[in-house]
Amino acid sequence: MRSPHQWLGLLALTFAAPLAAEDEPAPASTNAIVVTAQRSGAPMWTIETPQGIVILVGEMRNVPKSTPWQPERLQEATAEASRVILGVQPKISPGDILRLIFKGGQFTKLPGKTVASDYLNAEQLARLAALEEQYDKDFARKSFLMTSFDFLTRRLRFNKDTADDAGDVVKKAASRAKVPTSRAGALRGKDMLDSLAEADPKDHIPCLEASMTAVEIGPELVEKRGADWRAFRIPEVMNNPLEIALSKCWPWADPDVGSELRTIWVEQITDATTADGVTLAVVPLRVLAEEGGVLDLLEEQGLPIGGPVWRK
C-alpha cells in the first residue's frame, strides 16, 4: 500500500511543462525551428508576432510508450530556441511532507467513523460495490479521492509503461544546449494540502464517479488517449473518460488551483509575445484546451493562434 507522501507525489503527476530563453534567429531559422518542432508529432500551437514566434507544446502527461511520436525532433527544436518556459509545479517543503505523514489518515480515509454509504446515493453505491467485488477490495472507509486514484493508477495503470513527457524532453534538451529556461510559476504545497484537508468528502464524489466510469470502460482508454494526442484529435482527448476523470480530481478540480494555473500561463504567454526570437513553452494540454482555458483566453485577446482545432 502506498504511503501518504507517495500519494502526494502521485497526485502531482499532472504538473510539469517548460518556460523562457533569448536570442534573435533570422526568419528562416524561426521557420525551421517551428517545422522541426511540429515533426515531433506532439500537438502544438503557434503565435506569430512582429518580434518572433511563440510555440505552445500541448503536453499530455504519461504518454504510453506505444504512442509513436518523435521526441528527438522536439529536442532539436529546443536546442535552437531563444528561450524555454517550463511548467508550473507544486512547491512542497519538508514541512509539507511531515504534515502529510502525520495527518495521513485525514487524507486517506473518510472522516470519523463515516463510510461510503453515508455520502453516496444508491446508484453510486451499487457501482462501487460492483468494483469492490471485481477487485476484491473494500473501499467503504477509504477517502473517495484515494479510491479514485486506486482505480486510475492500479487498475487502469495509466501511469505505467510511459515514455518521457514533452516537458521532460524539453527540460533535458534545454539544459544540454544551455538555452535560458524558467518556470511559469509555482503553487505552494501548503495551500494545496490545506485545500485538500478542508474539502468535504462530497467534493470528491465527481472525481469518484468519473474514475468509476473510466475503470468500467477499461484500459483501452489509455491507448486511445495517447493515439488521439498524437493524431491532434484534441477534442477527443479532452472528452476521453480518463482525461475527464483526471480533470475532476484534486488538484485539478480545485477551483483556486485551476484559476491560478490559467492566469499564470496567460500572463507568461502574453509576455512572451513581446520577446524577440522563438519562445518554446510546454503547457499542460488540459490547461490549454479546456473550455475557457488558455487557448480560449488568448484567442479572446485577438492573438493569431495557428494549430489543431482544440474544441468542437
CA atoms in the 13 A half-sphere facing the CB of 109: 12
Q: Residue 94: is its pLDDT beyond 70?
A: no
pTM of the complete model:
0.84
Whether 159 maps to a domain, the answer reads yes
Whether 311 maps to a domain, the answer reads no
User: What's the sign of the alpha-carbon dihedral 229, 59, 62, 33?
Assistant: positive
Whether 177 maps to a domain, the answer reads yes
Average pLDDT across the chain, whole number: 86
* DSSP percent split of the chain into helix, strand, coil, nearest 5: 55, 15, 35
The predicted pLDDT at position 261 comes to 82
Whether 222 maps to a domain, the answer reads yes
Higher pLDDT, 100 or 234: 234
* Domain tally, the chain: 1
Q: Residue 99: is its pLDDT beyond 70?
A: no
Whether 67 maps to a domain, the answer reads yes
Whether 239 maps to a domain, the answer reads yes
Alpha helices in the chain (DSSP H): 4-11, 27-38, 71-80, 94-102, 104-108, 122-135, 144-149, 166-177, 189-198, 205-217, 220-230, 234-238, 241-248, 255-272, 285-289, 294-300
* Interval 178-220: pLDDT, tens: 999 999 887 776 777 777 777 899 999 999 999 999 999 999 9
List the one residue out of 13, 88, 11, 10 whose CA is nearest residue 250: 11
* Interval 13-56: pLDDT, tens: 433 333 333 444 444 378 899 999 999 999 999 999 998 999 99
Cβ partners under 8 Å of residue 253, min gap 6: 203, 206, 207, 247
Give the residue carrying C-alpha cell 482545432: 309
- DSSP 3-state of 34: helix
Q: Residue 291: is its pLDDT beyond 70?
A: yes
Whether 312 maps to a domain, the answer reads no
Whether 269 maps to a domain, the answer reads yes
* Interval 132-177: pLDDT, tens: 999 999 999 999 999 999 999 999 999 999 988 999 999 999 999 9
Domain that holds residue 71: 4-306
